[in-house]
Chains A and B, each alone.
Chain A
């Protein structure tokens, strides 16, 4: 600090510290307007949702205080149970495949090659594209008689699939879209990690005559672990939240064979207008996501060492 004179370095430092603290308090005003918006659009909805979940609240008719009845109903609702299981199945698939493919893609894009920038831009286009538009094109490609995908399968001698039109294949098919859509984000996150790797361990490994597979397994993977865990956290949360493409492609069908928690929630709230019951779903769903996120964060802190 230029204000510090030779008279008393100590007291000068103390004033500087105090002044900085005063400044820190003034910076609150920079945050207040945004905080107000956050309270109005994010915090208020949370609290209000908890409030609504204690009512039998149907749009257009009287509401009635029911306490925890919505929650007890939820835990005995078979349809909700199935939605939970489907979400779990969908999430596991939609996390594992993008992670593996994203890691592989990041390793490729970490090398230098001609037109790398262009190739990388093309690779990340899917994640920027409008989900509804993407879902529409996939819907057309999945058509069992006229779709281009069954024609492609026929070219390599695989019998045609029913894709989203059969309860047996609908979830893996929706995962396929999700993998196409979000593998780029995993690639970007891991690519950022690869760029930050130290070079010394690799030189040592080279001197010791390690094969490239050994180098990858014993050096790259452990060093990348924190980035992979971050990608895992983000992917898990996004897979749980998946709504747009599922809704546009199947609306939960055929029957209810692709009805995940999100779709169940949407139908309860905005097709049946069961606001109270739907709010209970939101609370349970959000608690689930928060727990998972906290668990994964905890893992991340342990991996970091």
Chain B
């Protein structure tokens, strides 16, 4: 009897822990599927009846939502791609040289507030005449993605057994070949982790595009924030837009939770 009671209490504590997360997302979903009348009803209507897709149609119909979605895709993929291209070899080099001081420098990038990069970069991009293109946003997103990739890759390459590469070197391979054909294939799981994390934190980033984007170059978080400022109380479309922005990330988290947990616990990394 006491054991059963203990089990019940434990189940309850699990429920208490996960309910804030579940309830907020469900409420978001609920708001996005109700008409305006139900959304502003008091007491609140919890279960949408009738279910309406109007809010989603409305989001796609105006606000150039698709353009902003495309911007977000271009920025996140480019920033992640460039970060992988530069960061995977860098992580390898740092791990091989045991250059802990270089790794420390990357940690400093992790603790710097994103805003503090923006003043000089803003002035620089203005001077270069790049404002109004996606370039400034992609380049500034490297500030987030590159440290994540390097950090995850260092810990991953350090965990690889060195014997295989050494055997390749003894057989006459160059260090570049040893990296490309021995270490990199072995590190594929680590590259996946780095890729997922850097994509998510680039996708979620708000402040860089908030400052640097023009009308045509907004990313999704900026576009959604603008919806809030311009229409006070149309909760349905707002929730629909918010859900659409965060849905790719939530789905990715559900699919790749193992990799994400491994990567986050390895370095405690998080975007600027």
Contact = CB atoms under 8 A, between A and B. Distances in A.
Given A137-B28, A266-B115, A34 B265 contact: no
Interface string A62-87: 00000000000000000000000000
B97 A28 contact: yes
Contacts of B20: 126, 180
Counting chain B CB atoms within 10 Å of each CB, the highest count among A30, A117, A126 belongs to A30
Interface stretch (B48-56, B57-65, B198-206): B198-206
Interface residues on chain A, size class: 35 or more
A100 to B, nearest CB: 13
A305 interface: no
Contacts of B114: 241, 243
Interface string A28-51: 111101110110011011101100
Contact of A140 (B42, B238, B249): B238
B203 A30 contact: no
7 contacts: A1-B170, A30-B89, A52-B123, A125-B254, A130-B242, A131-B206, A146-B42
B128 interface: no
B119 A133 contact: no
Give chain B's interface secondary structure class. Answer: helix
Interface string A235-256: 0011011011001100000000
A9 interface: no
Interface in B180-218: 200, 203-204, 206-207, 211
Interface of B: 10-11, 13-14, 17-18, 20-22, 24-25, 27-28, 31, 40, 42-44, 82, 85-87, 89-90, 92-94, 96-97, 99, 102, 105-106, 108-124, 139-140, 142-143, 146, 150, 166, 169-170, 175, 179, 200, 203-204, 206-207, 211, 220-222, 224-225, 228, 235, 238-239, 242-243, 245-246, 249-250, 252-254, 257, 260-261, 264-265, 268, 270, 272
A140 B86 CA distance: 41
Contact of A286 (B116, B124, B150, B169): B116
Interface string A190-213: 011000000000000000000000
Contacts of B43: 151
Contacts of B139: 41
A208 B21 CA distance: 40
Nearest to B244: A133
Given A28-B93, A129-B246, 10 more contacts: A33-B89, A125-B21, A126-B21, A128-B204, A130-B246, A136-B225, A189-B268, A234-B268, A265-B116, A290-B108
Given A120-B257, A279-B119, A23 B239 contact: no
B265 A191 contact: yes
B182 to A, nearest CB: 14
A171 interface: no
Interface of A: 1-3, 23-24, 26-31, 33-35, 37-38, 41-42, 44-46, 48-49, 52, 105, 108, 111, 113, 117, 119-134, 136-141, 145-146, 148, 151, 180, 185, 188-189, 191-192, 230, 234, 237-238, 240-241, 243-244, 247-248, 262, 265-266, 269-270, 275, 278-279, 282, 285-286, 289-290, 293
B198 to A, nearest CB: 13
B112 A42 contact: yes
A23 B173 CA distance: 12
Contacts of A290: 108, 111
Closest A-B pairs by Cβ, 3 of them? A30-B93, A34-B90, A48-B120
Contact of B90 (A35, A121, A138, A244): A35
Chain B CB count within 10 A is highest, among A27, A46, A185, A191, for A27
B93, B117, B169 interface centre (most CB from chain A within 10 Å): B93
A188 B90 contact: no
Given A34-B86, A188-B264, A136 B239 contact: yes
Most B-side CB within 10 Å, residue of A121, A125, A128: A128
A289 B24 contact: no
A129 B250 CA distance: 6
A193 B235 CA distance: 42
B242 A49 contact: no
A191 B228 CA distance: 37
Given A132-B225, A189-B268, A234-B268, A140 B239 contact: yes
A36 to B, nearest CB: 8
Given A120-B257, A136-B242, A240 B119 contact: no
Nearest to A116: B14
Nearest to B102: A31
A27 B115 contact: no
